[in-house]
Amino acid sequence: MTAPAPLLSAFRQAFSEAWASGAGLLLPLGFFAGTATLVPFTLGGEADLLSRVGPGILWLALALSSMVTLERVFQADLQDGALDLWLQDTGSISLVAAIKTLTHWLVSGFPLVLMTPLIGFMLGVPAEKMIPAMLGYAMGGLVFFLWGGVAAALSASVARGGLLIALIALPLYVPALIFGVQMVDAGVDSPSFLFLCACTLFALGVAPAAMGAALRLAAE
Amino acid sequence: MTAPAPLLSAFRQAFSEAWASGAGLLLPLGFFAGTATLVPFTLGGEADLLSRVGPGILWLALALSSMVTLERVFQADLQDGALDLWLQDTGSISLVAAIKTLTHWLVSGFPLVLMTPLIGFMLGVPAEKMIPAMLGYAMGGLVFFLWGGVAAALSASVARGGLLIALIALPLYVPALIFGVQMVDAGVDSPSFLFLCACTLFALGVAPAAMGAALRLAAE
Amino acid sequence: MLSYLANPLRFMRFSRLAVPICFALGVLMIGWSLYNGLFIVPPDALQGGDLIRAMFTHVPSAWLSMGLYAALAGASFVWYIWRHELADVAARAIAPIGAGYTALCFITGSIWGQKGWGAGWHNLILGDSRLMSVLVMLFLFLGYIALRAALETRQKAARAAAILALVGIVNVPIIKVSVDMWQTTTIHQESSVLKIGGSEPREDDEGMNPVYLQQLLWGFGGHTLLASAMILMLMRAEVYTQQAERQLALKLEER
Amino acid sequence: MSDPVLIAGHGLGAVRGERVLFQDVSLEAAPGELILLRGANGSGKTTLLRQLAGLSEPQAGTVERTVLHHWIGHTNGLKAHETPRSHLRHWARVWGGDTDIAAILTEMGLKRPANVPSRMLSAGQKRRTALSRLRLQDRELWLLDEPFNALDTDGQARLANMIESHRAAGGSVIAALHGDAPIEATREVEL
Amino acid sequence: MSDPVLIAGHGLGAVRGERVLFQDVSLEAAPGELILLRGANGSGKTTLLRQLAGLSEPQAGTVERTVLHHWIGHTNGLKAHETPRSHLRHWARVWGGDTDIAAILTEMGLKRPANVPSRMLSAGQKRRTALSRLRLQDRELWLLDEPFNALDTDGQARLANMIESHRAAGGSVIAALHGDAPIEATREVEL
Ligand code: HEM
Ligand SMILES: Nc1ncnc2c1ncn2[C@@H]1O[C@H](COP(=O)(O)OP(=O)(O)OP(=O)(O)O)[C@@H](O)[C@H]1O
Ligand SMILES: Nc1ncnc2c1ncn2[C@@H]1O[C@H](COP(=O)(O)OP(=O)(O)OP(=O)(O)O)[C@@H](O)[C@H]1O
Ligand SMILES: [Mg+2]
Ligand SMILES: [Mg+2]
């Protein structure tokens, strides 16, 4: 199970699952563009406000997409019995869970990074902030999806865990959020960037084990 | 089926479903409070910015909660066969669907209205805007949940419709969002309020039929 | 005419001729309007000088995007009520073309606005209700396409998409009246060709200069024909695909 | 009384994925009859039953139902948070009429797990809960999709009894079934 | 070779909601044996099987497994978007080894729906897909929870055959079952 082959096929399965649930990449792109579109309405469209607030709101969109995407992933595994199959070999369910969340990040979170230049341009973000912003969204997104995965695994055995996931995940998101936002302003050579890296590494180190434990519990 | 008894029990069932999926009312309250707390982090906490942006962000939280809540409702009905039971009597599935979404609004959307004074106070919203804001959140939330229900019903037969629901629902939310935001600024005696009422009435009139049709389709 | 064409055979016969004719005429008319619009008509001081030349693409695509959405909803309605297979084929073909024209409207408008509305215009894109409502329509088209792609069987996809198209029709009037109604939330100009929004004519309102109007109408006619040609072409492709699928299924059945 | 047919399907047909699943199937059920749908896995029994129940539109043919019916599908229709008792109470309310739910639960052997949420129930207990709906209201026509699945021997005997007494009372049953029927059928329809 | 036991459970017990479901259950399976778990609905067969499979921790007792096993539960383990072919290909990859998936599909009567997403499959076709996993890799121990459910007569015969030849090859099977077994068991465990 620690051989690459099973993990690769876990990736393939998760990828086709994420892809099959809609029109592939179109959907996440549409989602981020859609959220970016909603924002100005809620702010009344004062231009100066927008360029200050816009990038922050995209962080919210990212957090949202991680929760909406992951809500069902583990619950479905539990209900259709696929979780039992993963568990039956003593190998590492943690790794499989990590692969699954990372795959979903790739399909549903990473597109924001690709769209950052476009949306940022529309929101009037200065060009020199684009690279830090993209880096921030990429790493922050990773953290969001990993902790979101933990929350989803924890609430997998609750009938409909939507808001519960949100409630569990939000506090876990905060550190990455703070440093991510700061980093976009302060640039890649700031301490915020180092802290963001630390957040990411920490999530990468801890979240898989937590997911694994939560999933074992859910299958009981 | 048009008698009140079935609708009342549809309400009861949906209510206990919504309630059972977490800690009842605590969850939605926590969710809105959580989002409201996250906001300052993304904005860097400038007080003046906050009071201008805060109420708008709560609109986003409302939209989000409608989607997260409704995503699973109809899909679960489809998967566990409850939808077949509702459909088997020729009566009106539309009414049942409407009751279900309205119940979920009551549990997951309406709490925002209750919290508005508190959150508004925290964000520094002037007192005279409180009543329009509460009205706006109440009616806007209704519209969001109704259209969100349509989106959820339409994507019920898609494996995991998360982002798809968002993409379908977001454009439908926009009119109510525009008028709702304007109304908070302009007060209850403004034309925006009338337009918001019109949006709500329109959603109340059209969404149930659309949900009904979509659910019939999903059961095929 | 429409009910005559509802028969797939007749449709195929008609469209085989119509596609090349519409295509050729459309390209000619667009070319004529672009030639005149880009090189012949004088620049307009009020509308950002040479930038007014974007109008000959912008306004036709703006009208077409709304028109195509209405057509999408119409076809969906016909399919939903009478189950004319061809209406669904049409709806399916209209969606990508409509999305394309909506995007074109947005892009040309942006180019126009870059100078016309001065520096910092891009901040306005997201704050302007007219512009936003065009974006919203783009998302309606995209949502429609995504929903169709997500459902496996054609019957299901057709019905679900039809429901969405009919529900989304609310946004068309909102786009149309957005300029006229909320002067405060947009700096986009009012309708000067067609006055449907119902705003009171202003004193200084002389309507559009005929020099521009003429080219505009050529462009509009041309784009309408071109869009029709593209839609008919997609419809033909879809009809052929369905036939091929049916034959393939028969072949498989025999084995 | 000329023709006491409870349900009649004429020339029914279904197409799935460009393939004709079945066509020109006609069947009728009169009071007291038990009609079994037979056929291999994937031959279209469920599809036909759903058409008869009005859950999906026949691609060809028509269905006439003159009475109300009960539907028991492959899925049980239980929500994850529902207990057997709350499930039955819910549908009793929806359908009106006052039935003694405690009695039904006892009769169906669900007394012990009556208050356990369905996600913790065993497969057979879920099936029994679904079948208890048949008791909630007298409906002349029962449409059952592999109703004996997941039941233990006692449960199967009990269901066979229920069907028998339903028929004796003038009801009619259409059921999809694999293997030997624990009950004698009026007619079999082969798909 | 002293004791070729493939799996042994000693003094197993389970508590569910303040109630002792079973206790002090011990069983062993040696090569060639078929052990049937019997008991009424809700008596704990599934619970016991999950303990044997290592899916849940026994509240009392221990389980020793010396070999790999296949698990077929009440649920089939199919994802909604998966087709029979993609499901088998996926698990073949995970478990390694190169099996001829097309051959398995044909053998299990899944050739026609091989490319239909599982949410459109019939109940029996889903079950057949799950059972096909048994063919993907040779594992000595099979743990099956009501494996004959939803299968048609042909499918049941085929599964009985599979079990027979698995036993003949030195494999061992523990299965929960209701009603008559279409196959002779070494031993029955009553819960
Ligand atoms: C992203 C930017 C823009 C978008 C999305 C947009 C969208 C639209 C739409 C939807 C229409 C059709 C309106 C109707 O028929 O009532 C339209 C018409 C028009 N637009 Fe724009 N527009 C944009 C920018 C601009 C700019 C910057 C200008 C010029 C300053 C402009 C000038 C016009 C004109 C002249 C019409 C024709 C109005 C009429 O008489 O109907 N647009 N635009
Ligand atoms: N989109 C599709 N493409 C191809 N085949 C399809 C599609 N949708 C459904 N099918 C096929 O239609 C059939 C549906 O059969 P149905 O569920 O009615 O079978 P059944 O007789 O109830 O079988 P079982 O005994 O297994 O329950 C299956 O063979 C399935 O593979
Ligand atoms: N939290 C709980 N409270 C009370 N009882 C519970 C709880 N969780 C599970 N149970 C009971 O535990 C038992 C689980 O049984 P299990 O699923 O193992 O039965 P089974 O023998 O497989 O039955 P079947 O033949 O129906 O599949 C059921 O009787 C169920 O009602
Ligand atoms: Mg079936
Ligand atoms: Mg069991």
- Domains observed in chain E: 1-68+139-191 (3.40.50.300), 75-138 (no CATH)
- Contact at 8 Å (CB) between E191 and E43? yes
Is residue B206's pLDDT more than 80? yes
- Per the document, the length of chain A is 220
Alpha-carbon span E94 to E103, nearest angstrom: 19
At C187 the pLDDT is 55
The H-or-E segment that residue B172 falls in is helix B162-186
Q: Which residue has the higher pLDDT, A194 or C133?
A: A194
At E3 the pLDDT is 59
| Range B102-115 average pLDDT | 88
Q: Which two tokens stand for residue E113?
A: 């729906």
B128: exposed, middle or buried (Cβ count in 10 Å: 0-12, 13-18, 19+): exposed
Q: Which parts of chain A are beta strand (E)? A: none
Q: How far is the CA of D113 from the centre of ligand 3 (A)?
A: 8
Residue of the nearest CA to atom 28 in ligand 2?
D42
E87-to-A195, C149, E91, E126 alpha-carbon distances in Å: 42, 22, 6, 11
Alpha-carbon span B75 to B78, nearest angstrom: 5
Q: Which residue of D has its CA nearest to B220?
A: D56
| Range D59-87 average pLDDT | 92
Among all bound ligands, the one having the nearest atom to the CA of D178 is 2
Alpha-carbon span D162 to D166, nearest angstrom: 6
Alpha-carbon span D99 to D93, nearest angstrom: 9
Is residue E26's pLDDT more than 80? yes
Give which of B217, B24, B197, B8 is closest to B108, Cα–Cα: B24
Is the Cα dihedral A12, A18, A19, A24 positive or negative? negative
Reduced to 3 states (helix: H, G, I; strand: E, B; else coil), residue E12 is strand
Least confident of B11-20, C11-20, D133-142, E128-137: B11-20
Instruction: Please judge whether E73 and A81 are an interchain contact, meaning their C-beta atoms are less than 8 angstroms apart.
Output: yes
Q: What confidence tens digit (pLDDT) does each residue in E94-140 have?
A: 888 778 999 999 999 999 899 998 988 999 999 999 999 999 999 99
Is residue B165's pLDDT more than 90? no
Alpha-carbon span B148 to B211, nearest angstrom: 10
Alpha-carbon span C84 to C10, nearest angstrom: 14
Sheet holding E7-16: strands in order across?
Answer: E19-29, E7-16, E60-65
Alpha-carbon span E23 to E15, nearest angstrom: 9
Among all bound ligands, the one having the nearest atom to the CA of D145 is 4
Give which of A37, A182, A31 is closest to A123, Cα–Cα: A37
Any chain D CB within 8 A of the CB of E155?
yes
Average pLDDT value over all residues in chain E: 91
Is residue C126's pLDDT more than 50? no
Phi, psi of E61 (to 5 degrees): 85, 180
- Contact at 8 Å (CB) between A68 and A27? no
Alpha-carbon span A27 to E86, nearest angstrom: 23
CA B27 distance to own-chain centroid = 15
At C76 the pLDDT is 92
Smallest CA–CA distance, residue D124 to chain E, in Å, is 5
Phi, psi of D78 (to 5 degrees): -90, 135
CA B83 distance to own-chain centroid = 21
Alpha-carbon span B64 to B58, nearest angstrom: 10
Residue of the nearest CA to atom 19 in ligand 3?
E42
B·D CB contacts under 8 A: 68
Beta bridge partner(s), residue D65: D7
Least confident of B17-21, B140-144, E30-34: B17-21
Residues of chain A whose beta carbon is less than 8 angstroms from a beta carbon of chain E are: 3, 5-6, 8-10, 12-13, 16-17, 20-21, 76, 79-82, 84-85, 87-90, 219-220
Q: Which two tokens stand for residue C250?
A: 């028969």
Any chain A CB within 8 A of the CB of E187?
no
CB of C59 closer than 6 angstroms to any ligand 1 atom: yes
Give residues whose Cβ lies within 5 Å of ion ligand 5: D 122-123; E 46
Smallest CA–CA distance, residue B8 to chain D, in Å, is 8
Strand E69-72 relative to strand E141-145, pairing: parallel
* CB neighbourhood size of B26 (10 A): 12
At B21 the pLDDT is 64
Among all bound ligands, the one having the nearest atom to the CA of E191 is 3
Strand D141-145 relative to strand D69-72, pairing: parallel
Residue of the nearest CA to atom 12 in ligand 1?
C62
Give me the half-sphere count of Cα atoms (radius 13 Å) on the Cβ side of residue A107.
27
Q: Which two tokens stand for residue A23?
A: 């029109």
CA B132 distance to own-chain centroid = 18
Average pLDDT value over all residues in chain A: 80
Is residue C123's pLDDT more than 50? no
Q: Which residue has the higher pLDDT, E169 or B28?
A: E169
Residue at token pair 């028109």? C67
Strand E187-190 relative to strand E34-38, pairing: parallel
Instruction: Please judge whether E94 and A21 are an interchain contact, meaning their C-beta atoms are less than 8 angstroms apart.
Output: no
Is the Cα dihedral A67, A72, A78, A81 positive or negative? negative
Is residue A160's pLDDT more than 60? no
Alpha-carbon span B196 to B178, nearest angstrom: 9
Is residue D115's pLDDT more than 60? yes
> Which residues, at least 6 apart from E186, have a Cβ–Cβ distance to it below 8 Å?
E32, E33, E34, E35
- Ligand 1 pocket test: pick from C51, C59, C140 the residue with the most ligand atoms within 8 Å of its Cβ: C59
